[in-house]
Each structure stands twice: as C-alpha cells, then as structure tokens.
Structure 1
Amino acid sequence: MADYDNSRYTYTQVLAGTGYYMKDDMLRYSGGVSTMQGKLNTAGHNCGTPDGKFGNGTDTAVKSFQRSQSLTVDGKAGKATLTALDKAASGGSSDASAAAKNLKKKFGSIISSFASKYSIGEDVLGGFILTESSGSGFTSGKLLIRFENHIFLKNVPNASKTFKVEDKVHYYYKNGTWNKTHTGNQSSEYDAFNLAIGLNEYYAYYSISMGLPQIMGFNYEVTGFSSPKAMFQDFSISEDNQMKGFCTFIAKYSNGSLLKACQSRDFNRMGAIYNGDGATYGPKLKTNAADYAKA
C-alpha cells in the first residue's frame, strides 16, 4: 500500500526541489496535486477533474507525461517532472510575468495555506488576484478602488446631477464639466468616490470595489465586515488584510458556489459567479492562473 502524504509540500516547494508527489492510496487532499492535475489535463495527459487526490488516474497520467518527456517513468512528480509540466502546460513558455512572481513572493504562503484548507489549486487563487489587480492593492499609498456609478445611482436616485452612465461609459460632474472614470487613473476614481461620500457616505463605500481582489463594498458581510466603510478601513491597512478578506469571500460567497467552482477548476463558472461574465472573464482567469503557477 502506498502511504504517502502529498499535502506536506506545496506546488512551489516541489517545483523548487523540495520533495515530490506520488500515489497515495489513502487519497489525502493536496493543493499542489490539484494544481498538477490541472496542468496534466492542459498538457493532454488526462487525469479527470482535479480533486487534489493522487490516485490511480493521476498515477497513470504522471507516468504517461514522464514517458512523453523522456523522464524516468516512476510516477514520482518531483522538480524535473513539474518543470517539464509547467513548460508543456503553458505552450512551451516557462517564463512567468513579473506581476505573478511578485504576487507569489509576497502572498505565496497565505495563498498556499488557504488553498490547502479549502481544497483549491494555488494557481486558481493567484489567478484571481492577477486578473483583478495585477498583484497590487495600493496605488501611491492609497487603496486601489473602482467607483461604480450604476451601483450608486441605483441606491441614491437623486445623484443623477453628479453621476451618469452613457453607452456604458461612467461620468461624474465636477468643476462645471463631466469627467470620465475608469480611465486607468486612480485620481478620477477617488474624485468620483469623494463626491459620492458627500451625497451618501454609506452607499459611496457600498459602490466601490477594493484592493487586490477588487471585492465590491456591497459584499462587506460575506467578506467578514460590519459595513462597507469598515471593509475599506481594514483593506487600507495592508495587502495582507485584503488577502484574508478575499479568502473569506471565496469560502462564503453565493452559498459556497464560488468555492465549489474553484475546487472543480471550472473557470467559466468562476467568472460567471465572481464577475458576471464567465465567457470573457473565465479565459482571462485561466490564463492568469497558468501564469501564477509558473512563477
């Protein structure tokens, strides 16, 4: 009987040369194995839906991949196997983006811990952050935000003299002119946000997305806060706080449906739940997850 606990090593550790993954007849979960399974599928060595358990199907897929790469065919996925797998799963490129490398350096341990606790691939969580914020939760010392006019207008109808949306373009009125938000400039987001605070503070915080994961203020309760403002204040302290809030959100949002989509690596479903546009957001998320895995 193969009694080998794969959960002792993260994917990053094995890729760096610490330990390896192999068949475990007790089928204990490992976030790193889940990441590896997703890559095996992408590389054309199907092992079924990634579940983090190294059983017969994964053993067969690993050996098949090792054989295709002229590696030692022993079913032990160590540094050499994962290095080749990263390259094969990414279409031949083994270079990760600077944002992915920086994200893993700063938050790899938090991501790994949460991934293991909730049976999610580490790359999935990293992919979310890269898709939303490129790995940074602050700009010029201020919390990264995005003010959503349509959310504010829905809840504060008398704000139409200050905010409007035309052909999906968001505008705010200041100094006698209409100005665009969502231009990539945080000053415009904060201009709109501060104007909203003057009209209705609660819904101003309610109508912004915040930090690394860009979670909307109206999700404050599921993220673990008493109000949108409390969430803003906590996220403004550190990126670590933003990551903790994000992990809480993933675990609890939509009665656990987002967590289940993450566990099954259904990227389009994740995109539909998290962003409302699975067909567009899902492929971006999948690409960024692959980028994080390479880092």
Structure 2
Amino acid sequence: MADYDNSRYTYAQVLAGTGYYMKDDKLRYSAGVKTMQTKLNTAGYDSGTPDGKFGGGTDTAVKSFQRAKSLTVDGKAGKATLTELDKTASGGGNASAEAKNLKKKFGSIISSFASKNSIGEDVLGGFILTESSGSGFVDGALKIRFENHIFLKAVPSASTTFKVEDKVHYYKKNGKWYKTHTGKQTSEYEAFNLAKNISENYAYYSISMGLPQIMGFNHKVTGYDTPKAMFTGFSKSEDKQMEGFCTFIVNYSSGSLLKACQSRDFTKMGQIYNGDGSTYGPKLKANAADYAKA
C-alpha cells in the first residue's frame, strides 16, 4: 500500500528538486498534484479531473508521460518529470524552440499539404515535430542510417560482409569487423557503400534517410519510384525531405493514417504508425498543441 503524503511539497519545491509526487492510496489532497494533473491533461496525458489526489489514473498518466519522454518510468514525479512537463504542457506558455524552428523553416510546406488533404495544420506539424531528427544533412551529405538486418534479409549471401550480434550491427572491411552505428556518418556510409557493391538497389532500400529518417523500402508511399530516386530527391534539400515526409503520412498504410489524422484521433495515429497508441498518441497530441502555438 502506498502511504505517501504529497501535500508536504509545493509544486515549486518539487520543480526545484525537493521531494517528488507519487501515488497515495489514502488520496490526500495536494495543491501541487492538482497543478501537475492540469499540466498532464493539457499536455495530452489524461489524468482525469484535476482534484489534487494522486490515484491510479494520475499514476498511469505520469508513467505514460515518463515513457514518452524517455525518463525513468517509476511513477515518481520529481524534478526531471516536472521540468519536462512544464516544457511540454500545452496550456499557456510559449511554443518550444523546436516547434518554432519547424514552422519557420517548413511552415508553408506543412500548411499546403495540410490544406490539400483536410488535415489540421497542427496535427501534421505535430506529427513531423515528433518524427523529425532535427537535421537532414551532415557535412553536406544526406543523413542516413544503414540497417544491416534489412539488407541481410533481402540479400542473405551478404552475411560475409554484414552481421548483427546482440542487436549490434557490424560490417567487414579489409578483413576486420567494424560497428555500423557509431553516431558518426562515416561508418554509416562505409557500410552503405559496401552494400552498394553487393546490391545497389537493396543498399538504398536498407537505409533511412534525411530529416524524417524514412526507410528506402518506403519509397513508393513517399512519392518515389525507386529507393535510389528517393535518395537523389532527398539529397537536393530539406524541403524535398519534408515534402516526402508529408506524402508518406498521407499514403502510409493505404490511407488509414491519413483518415486518423483527419479525424484528429491521436491514439489511432499512434497505433497505425508506431504500434502503441497509448504511449505514442499522447506524444503526438502534445506536439500538435506545441506546433499550434508556434
């Protein structure tokens, strides 16, 4: 039984690093918990009617928020959780720097696609905000990530050059094995170029590309005839990458994602795109609210 008196700390104290809030089976009132509940609701994480009592619904909302923000998922809302919540909450305040930058750079593209496809501009902007990697190029070259397992599934004979062990990807060069994903584009391109020498089409097929990091095997729904054509198009500009991402959202899953976007069903959007509507849906909703303020 959780016997924790949340009324001991104000919201400001917890935000500053003193104490935390957590589930209290006695459901004692706390003004700070009520503030947190309001912020959770406006950020898209339903904790029920804000009543200042940290029960099961609030516990679920806190854990969902922590999971979506890659925080420790323990139901304890301390400084890290409240700090992230204050940045995310859609009720009042200013838009995030990421949302402002996205609208400044690609607002016209997002607006055009949203209008053309009867999607709320905030919904489409929030989706892109959730999925964009922040940069489509590194040192002038298209940002990529080569996925060994995708290539090996398409070309099993390439096992002499590529392997995956304990989820770690390796490629073989000059008789020595190197890690593919090192955080640097050098290793990604070395693996990619080795793959091109084995099968050019499947090499392009097996990389994620640009700002949205869309896989080459999704070239059709992104608006390109081949994975290589997608690579060439994305290499032209980040605008082309964003156009491709918008097209991808519209066409993905035979149009079912588009319908979910049109109806503003964030849970369904999360289910279709990420397979987890309960976690991913609130994140999409919060980012849509963030984009709306930008």
Report the TM-score range of the alignment, normalised by the length of the smaller protein.
Answer: 0.5 to 0.7
Cα separation, 2, equivalents of 1:165 and 1:282: 31
Taking every aligned residue pair, what percent have the same amino acid on both sides?
Answer: 76
Alignment match, 1:193:
192
1:173 counterpart SS class: strand
Distance 1:267-1:170 versus aligned 2 partners, 3 A rule: farther
2:93 counterpart SS class: coil
Contact 2:122 2:288 survives alignment (8 Å):
yes
Cα separation, 1, equivalents of 2:168 and 2:208: 17
| 1:243 matched to 2:206 | no
Cα separation, 1, equivalents of 2:274 and 2:140: 26
Alignment match, 1:182:
181
Contact 1:131 1:285 survives alignment (8 Å):
yes
Amino acid aligned to 1:100: A
Distance 1:212-1:159 versus aligned 2 partners, 3 A rule: same
Q: How far 1:91 sits from its partner (Å)?
A: 5.4
Q: How far 1:129 sits from its partner (Å)?
A: 2.6
Q: How far 1:281 sits from its partner (Å)?
A: 4.0
Distance 1:167-1:241 versus aligned 2 partners, 3 A rule: same
Distance 1:89-1:283 versus aligned 2 partners, 3 A rule: closer
Distance 1:230-1:94 versus aligned 2 partners, 3 A rule: same
1:1-295 aligned within 5 A:
42=44, 90=89, 94-295=93-294
Cα separation, 2, equivalents of 1:221 and 1:149: 21
Contact 2:88 2:290 survives alignment (8 Å):
no
Cα separation, 1, equivalents of 2:267 and 2:216: 23
Amino acid aligned to 2:156: P
Paired positions, count: 216
Q: CA RMSD in A?
A: 3.0
1:94 counterpart SS class: coil
**5+ residue gaps in structure 2?**
1-40, 47-85
Alignment match, 1:68:
none
Contact 1:144 1:211 survives alignment (8 Å):
yes
Contact 1:128 1:213 survives alignment (8 Å):
no
| Range that drifts further, 174-183 or 119-128 | 174-183
Cα separation, 2, equivalents of 1:175 and 1:93: 57
Distance 1:91-1:215 versus aligned 2 partners, 3 A rule: closer
Cα separation, 1, equivalents of 2:139 and 2:130: 20
Q: Output one character per residue of 1:176-221: Cα deviation in whole Å (capped at 9) or x when no partner.
A: 4333333432222222211111111000001111122222111112
Contact 2:142 2:209 survives alignment (8 Å):
yes
Contact 2:146 2:208 survives alignment (8 Å):
yes
| Range that drifts further, 277-286 or 249-258 | 277-286
Amino acid aligned to 2:239: D
**5+ residue gaps in structure 1?**
1-38, 45-86
Cα separation, 2, equivalents of 1:254 and 1:94: 35
1:170 counterpart SS class: strand
Cα separation, 2, equivalents of 1:223 and 1:293: 25
Cα separation, 2, equivalents of 1:137 and 1:129: 13
Amino acid aligned to 1:232: F
Cα separation, 2, equivalents of 1:277 and 1:167: 24
Q: How far 1:235 sits from its partner (Å)?
A: 0.8
Amino acid aligned to 1:213: P
Distance 1:137-1:41 versus aligned 2 partners, 3 A rule: closer
Contact 1:42 1:89 survives alignment (8 Å):
no
Q: How far 1:111 sits from its partner (Å)?
A: 0.6
Distance 1:114-1:40 versus aligned 2 partners, 3 A rule: farther
Cα separation, 2, equivalents of 1:100 and 1:284: 14
Cα separation, 2, equivalents of 1:244 and 1:236: 13
Cα separation, 1, equivalents of 2:150 and 2:121: 32
Cα separation, 2, equivalents of 1:43 and 1:275: 17
Contact 1:43 1:88 survives alignment (8 Å):
no
| Range that drifts further, 106-115 or 213-222 | 213-222
1:230 counterpart SS class: helix
